[in-house]
Amino acid sequence: MTVRTVHVMISGLVQGVGYRAWTEREANARRLSGWVRNRRGGEVEAVFTGDEADVAAMLFACHAGPRMARVSAVDVDERDSAEPGLFRVLPDA
């Protein structure tokens, strides 16, 4: 298994539509670790760590998000260090 960690900024209509809760469910279903939170600028920020294929599937899913979301961009940066532990929702930043 190849482990991959990414930092993601998701923009569009992504706050007030259940995006964080959806992300937590999707990440847990893929056995990913990391976190998700809202940003004051209106974006959702997340870090995903896990099997390379599972992270890729999560990134693909982030382009759609939950039913009410309207995603305009998903910006991805690779990270060298893994995010340990369970996936969690962090306070807004």
Catalytic residue among 4, 20, 39, 67: 20
Active site residue 20: yes
CA-wise closest residue to 55 among 73, 37, 82, 20: 82
Q: Do 25 and 88 form a contact (C-beta atoms < 8 A)?
A: no
Catalytic residue among 28, 30, 37, 38: 38
Active site residue 38: yes
Provide the annotated active-site residues: 20, 38
